[in-house]
């Protein structure tokens, strides 16, 4: 049978159906087709002629269909290629996606994984297939994951959770967000894995920053580019009184106190606009109107185009701190009693003024003032009154000077005045005289009246020196010169004074070694009984044999030894040396032989119980107190407090006698003589020197002698050089004489010869 006839009666749709369903290419499985066609023909009782009539038509239709099918086939091929390309693209996308993709089984086994996820887990993909995903999950996150996975398979909706992954070595810990949805097979699920480690870190940082912002003690105010407050922190509210709600939206001038002028703000804004930064102190105002000082730091935040986005102001209240600082500064620089600059401040001002003086080419003067006998005021009226006097003194000094001058108190009763910009030196003299005059006026001290005077030393910069320390020293030296010349006066510094000071300094240095180097010796000068000529007494006088300068007079070095305190050790040496020598002469010559030892007021003041050691020493030598006479000066009695009185009485009780040296030169007060139980007075050699039968001094000497005898005090005349003087004094009733007429002060050996000679 003809193949085409068969086909004629087969519905073309059937053919297409077959080819589609059975995947049979059209016209290829002819056996089947024929069988099918024959069946149809048989059923319909058709003749072959009928069939042939339609054959041509059918053939044509078939040809058309064939072409159609061809075209459809081509379209199918194209579609298939497209699907394959899409699949490839999808696979590539899947593999290369920047997020991790996985397919997990119900038990968490990894079925599929993309490159990103494999990388996140730190392994190659091949190593990960069929691994349990849970092995990469931190212990903390494990239960979260298990619940998550069950949730995924239980519901149809996507689930998500956060996990901490612990990938293999060398890979950092990850925090991931995973999202999953079950596949239709309900055996696997698709998982997306996003690394949120950095985001989490940022979030934590932000949280921390916010915490700091909220908790920090410093007030913070953030403003926008238009200076409108954007936010403030709680410390801001606490400090200023404005809440966040009140502050936000306001201008930053909200806190302005008006204490700063426009210039201040101009400088601030200039800095902010040029550098974006400003820092400094500023007075601002709280909500309650109170002003306070703050330490303010402003920083600027810029956007990408470098436009101002925000200004961040941080500040703290430093009002109390400032007050404390000011108090400390005040205490460190000013004298609390008088309110005048203290030594520290004085030094600074002087340095400043010296610089200014140098710049301007105008000299300055430095005055050093020391009250005369201020100690007496303190001792007699008490320290309270002494303080009042110093305050009044400060006031009087301030009244004498110009506003540009500096009056300072260095301590005690020492004051200084800096006179800068001296156009004429006369002004120094005028000021000095004015001060001297002002201070002679009585001081009214709460019911008491006191009189003082002042000694002023003056030095000039740059004339005398250009060194600040030397300048101060000069003024100090000049002040001492004023004191030496009788106080209540001014004295200018001179070069010779400086030389004297230098010598004095060398003297001090050398004096330090003199005792250890055994450079001291004692000279003895006889004190002769005028009526008999007998030598039963001597005065021990110290001598310093300086290794290079030769013999130095005690008049020169004793004041230095007193000023430096070295007199204590020296005096001790004198006493022991003299006592030792006297012990010898008492045994060898006269057992009533007596030695006079000069004792400085400084020894009395500084030694305290030093006299007890003397008593012990005398006991050791087996000598009675009567073998010693202590020579003191009137000044000692003038200033005598309980300490000195006690020592003098202790001497008396021990049998040691007391002689008042240089009588007539000081205060020569009779009441002292009685009060302190003086045994001898020594008429000063200045009286003896001028003695003549007609001189006033003779009358004076006679009066002293009579008066002393009335008080049962013996009199020794010092400095007898001539027989006439000796005769006059003897006639006046003087008991003893001392002077070159009898003997100069001589060495122990020489003195011994005198004693030997006397006995024969």
Among positions 542-601, residues that touch Mg ion (CB under 5 A) are 598
Stretch (H or E) spanning 461: strand 453-461
> Quick one: what does residue 636 bind among ligand C2E, Mg ion, none, with the CB cut-off 5 to 8 Å set by partner type?
none
601 binds ligand C2E (CB under 6 A): no
- Contact with ligand C2E (CB under 6 A): which of 218, 661, 679, 735? 661
600 binds, among ligand C2E, Mg ion, none (CB under 5 to 8 A by kind): ligand C2E
Q: Which of 265, 302, 667, 740 binds ligand C2E (CB under 6 A)?
A: 740
Q: Longest Cα pair distance anywhere in the chain, in angstroms?
A: 207
Nearer to ligand C2E, 22 or 512 (CB): 512
Closer residue to Mg ion (CB): 389 or 660: 660
Phi and psi for 158 in degrees, rounded to 5?
-70, 145
Closer to Mg ion at the Cβ: 232 or 716? 716
Measured from the CB atom, the residue of 110 and 541 that comes closer to ligand C2E is 541
Q: Which of 600, 627, 647, 657 binds ligand C2E (CB under 6 A)?
A: 600
Question: Kindly report the CA angle at 667 between 665 and 672, in degrees rounded to 5?
Answer: 120
Choices 11-19, 504-512, 572-580, 626-634; region in contact with Mg ion by CB under 5 A: 626-634
Question: Pick from 490, 357, 496, 503: which is nearest to 435 by CA?
Answer: 490
Q: How far is the CB of 704 from Mg ion (least distance, A)?
A: 14
Q: 378 touches which of Mg ion, ligand C2E, none (CB within 5 to 8 A by kind)?
A: none
A 10 A CB-CB count for 646 gives 15
Total residues in contact with Mg ion, by rule CB under 5 A: 5
Q: Are strands 628-632 and 680-683 parallel, antiparallel or unpaired?
A: unpaired
Q: Are 407 and 340 in contact (CB under 8 A)?
A: yes
CB 138 within 8 A of CB 223: no
| Binding partner at 555 among Mg ion, ligand C2E, none, C-beta below 5 to 8 Å by kind | ligand C2E
**661 touches Mg ion by CB under 5 A:** yes
- Helix, strand, coil in percent for the chain, rounding step 5: 50, 25, 25
The gap between the terminal CA atoms of the chain, to the nearest Å, is: 199
Nearer to ligand C2E, 386 or 745 (CB): 745
Specify the stretch interacting with Mg ion by CB under 5 A; choose among 120-128, 265-273, 556-564, 659-667: 659-667
Side by side, the strands of the sheet bearing 308-317 are 229-232, 219-224, 308-317, 291-302, 277-285
657 lines the binding site for Mg ion (CB under 5 A): no
Residue 685 CB, shortest distance to ligand C2E, in Å, is: 6
Residue from 26, 363, 386, 745 binding ligand C2E (CB under 6 A) = 745
From residue 48 to residue 77, the character string flagging contacts with ligand C2E as x (rule: CB under 6 A) and all else as - is ------------------------------
Minimum CB distance to ligand C2E smaller for 480 or for 604: 604
Contacting residue, 120, 719, 737, 751, with ligand C2E by CB under 6 A: 719
Exactly one of 662, 679, 697, 735 binds Mg ion (CB under 5 A); that residue is: 662
Among 498, 362, 360, 472, which residue's Cα sits nearest to residue 425?
362
Distance in angstroms (rounded) separating the CA atoms of residues 642 and 648:
10
Q: Which of 434, 435, 436, 403 is nearest to 421 (CA)?
A: 403
CB atoms under 10 Å from CB of 11, counted, come to: 10
Question: Per-residue x/- mask for Mg ion, residues 439 to 478, rule CB under 5 A?
Answer: ----------------------------------------
CA distances from 756 to 11, 530, 595, 736 (A): 182, 19, 17, 20
Contact string (CB under 6 A) for ligand C2E, positions 547-586, x = contact: ------xxx--x------------x--x------------
Residue 418 contacts residue 349 (beta carbons within 8 Å): yes
Listed in sequence order, the residues at least 6 apart from 652 whose beta carbon sits closer than 8 Å to its beta carbon are: 658, 677
For Mg ion, the closer CB: 598 or 647: 598
Burial of residue 157 (number of CB atoms within 10 Å: 0-12, 13-18, 19+): exposed
Phi, psi (degrees; rounded to nearest 5) at 396: -65, -40
* Dist. CA 404–CA 397, nearest whole Å: 13
Dist. CA 368–CA 491, nearest whole Å: 10
Number of residues that bind ligand C2E (CB under 6 A): 23
* Residue 218 vs 661, nearer CB to Mg ion: 661
735 near 726, Cβ under 8 Å? no
Task: Work out what residue 363 binds among ligand C2E, Mg ion, none; the CB cut-off runs from 5 to 8 Å by kind.
Answer: none
Of residues 186 and 556, the one with the C-beta less far from ligand C2E: 556
Q: Please name the helix (run of DSSP H) or strand (run of DSSP E) that holds residue 500, with its range, or none.
A: helix 495-514
Angle at 370 between CA 433 and CA 502, to 5 degrees: 105
* Nearest approach, Cβ of residue 550 and ligand C2E (Å): 14
Residue 541 interface partner, choices ligand C2E, Mg ion, none, CB cut-off 5-8 Å depending on type: ligand C2E
Q: Residue 416 or 582: which CB sits closer to Mg ion?
A: 582
Spatial CA neighbour of 370 closest among 452, 485, 469: 452
Tokens found for residue 758: 């006397």
Taking residues 671 to 700 in sequence order and writing x for each that binds ligand C2E by CB under 6 A, - otherwise, the string is --------------x---------------
| 8 A C-beta contact, residue 421 and residue 383 | no
Residues that bind Mg ion (CB under 5 A): 598, 631, 661-662, 718
| Contact footprint for ligand C2E (CB under 6 A) | 525, 541-542, 553-555, 558, 571, 574, 598-600, 631, 661-662, 685, 718-719, 721, 738-740, 745
């Amino acid at each position: 049978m003809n193949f085409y006839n068969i086909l004629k009666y087969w519905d073309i749709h059937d053919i297409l159906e077959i080819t589609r369903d059975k995947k049979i290419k059209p016209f290829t499985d002819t056996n089947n087709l024929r069988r099918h066609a024959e069946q149809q023909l048989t059923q319909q009782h058709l003749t072959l002629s009928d069939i042939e009539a339609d054959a041509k038509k059918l053939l044509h239709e078939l040809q058309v269909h064939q072409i159609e099918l061809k075209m459809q086939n081509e379209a199918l091929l194209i579609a298939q290629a497209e699907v394959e390309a899409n699949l490839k693209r999808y696979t590539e996308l899947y593999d290369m996606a920047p997020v991790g993709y996985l397919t997990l089984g119900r038990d968490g086994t990894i079925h599929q994984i993309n490159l990103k996820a494999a990388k996140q887990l730190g392994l190659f993909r091949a190593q990960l297939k069929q691994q349990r995903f849970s092995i990469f999950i931190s212990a903390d996150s494990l239960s979260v994951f298990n619940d998550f996975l069950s949730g995924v398979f239980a519901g149809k909706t996507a689930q998500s959770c956060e996990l901490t992954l612990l990938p293999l070595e060398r890979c950092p810990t990850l925090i991931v967000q995973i999202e999953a949805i079950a596949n239709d097979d309900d055996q696997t699920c698709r998982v997306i894995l996003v690394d949120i480690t950095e985001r989490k870190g940022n979030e934590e940082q932000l949280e921390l920053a916010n915490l700091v912002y909220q908790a920090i003690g410093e007030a913070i105010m953030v403003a926008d580019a238009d200076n409108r407050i954007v936010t403030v922190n709680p410390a801001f509210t606490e400090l200023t009184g404005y809440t966040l709600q009140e502050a936000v939206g306001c201008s930053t001038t909200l806190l302005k106190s008006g204490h700063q002028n426009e210039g201040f703000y101009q400088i601030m804004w200039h800095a902010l606009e040029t550098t974006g930064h400003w820092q400094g102190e500023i007075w601002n105002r709280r909500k309650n109107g109170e002003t306070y000082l703050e330490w303010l730091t402003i920083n600027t935040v810029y956007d990408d185009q470098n436009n101002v986005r925000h200004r961040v102001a941080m500040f703290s209240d430093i009002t109390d701190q400032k007050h404390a600082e000011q108090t400390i500064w005040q205490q460190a620089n000013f004298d609390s009693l008088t309110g005048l600059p203290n030594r520290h401040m004085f030094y600074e001002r002087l340095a400043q003024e010296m610089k200014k003086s140098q710049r301007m080419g105008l000299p300055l003067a430095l005055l050093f003032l020391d009250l005369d006998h201020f100690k007496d005021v303190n001792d007699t009226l008490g320290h309270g009154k002494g303080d009042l006097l110093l305050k009044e003194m400060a006031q009087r000094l301030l009244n004498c000077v110009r506003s540009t001058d500096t009056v300072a108190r260095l301590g005690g009763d020492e004051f200084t005045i800096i006179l800068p910009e001296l156009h004429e030196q006369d002004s120094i003299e005028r000021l000095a005289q004015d001060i001297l005059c002002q201070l002679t006026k009585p001081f009214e001290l709460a019911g008491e009246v006191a009189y003082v005077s002042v000694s002023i030393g003056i030095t000039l910069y740059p004339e005398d020196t250009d060194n600040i320390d030397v300048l101060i020293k000069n003024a100090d030296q000049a002040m001492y010169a004023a004191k030496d010349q009788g106080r209540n006066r001014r004295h200018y510094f001179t070069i010779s004074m400086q030389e004297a000071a230098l010598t004095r300094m060398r003297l001090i240095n050398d004096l330090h070694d003199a005792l250890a180097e055994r450079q001291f010796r004692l000279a003895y000068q006889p004190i002769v009984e005028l009526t008999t000529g007998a030598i039963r007494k001597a005065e021990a006088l110290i001598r310093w044999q300086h290794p290079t300068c030769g013999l130095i007079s005690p008049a020169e070095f004793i004041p230095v030894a007193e000023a430096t305190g070295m007199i204590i050790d020296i005096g001790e040496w004198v006493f022991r040396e003299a006592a030792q020598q006297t012990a010898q002469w008492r045994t060898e010559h006269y057992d009533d032989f007596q030695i006079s030892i000069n004792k400085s007021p400084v020894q009395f003041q500084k030694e305290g119980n030093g006299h007890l050691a003397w008593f012990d020493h005398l006991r050791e030598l087996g000598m009675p107190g009567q073998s010693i006479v202590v020579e003191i000066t009137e000044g000692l009695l003038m200033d005598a407090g309980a300490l000195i009185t006690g020592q003098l009485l202790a001497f008396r009780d021990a049998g040691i006698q007391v002689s008042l040296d240089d009588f007539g030169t000081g205060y020569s007060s009779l009441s002292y003589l009685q009060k302190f139980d003086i045994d001898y007075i020594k008429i000063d050699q200045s009286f003896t020197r001028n003695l003549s039968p007609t001189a006033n001094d003779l009358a004076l000497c006679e009066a002293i002698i009579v008066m002393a005898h009335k008080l049962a005090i013996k009199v020794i005349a010092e400095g007898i050089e001539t027989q006439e003087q000796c005769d006059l004094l003897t006639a006046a009733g003087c008991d003893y004489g001392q002077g070159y007429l009898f003997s100069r002060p001589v060495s122990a050996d020489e003195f011994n010869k005198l004693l030997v000679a006397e006995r024969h």
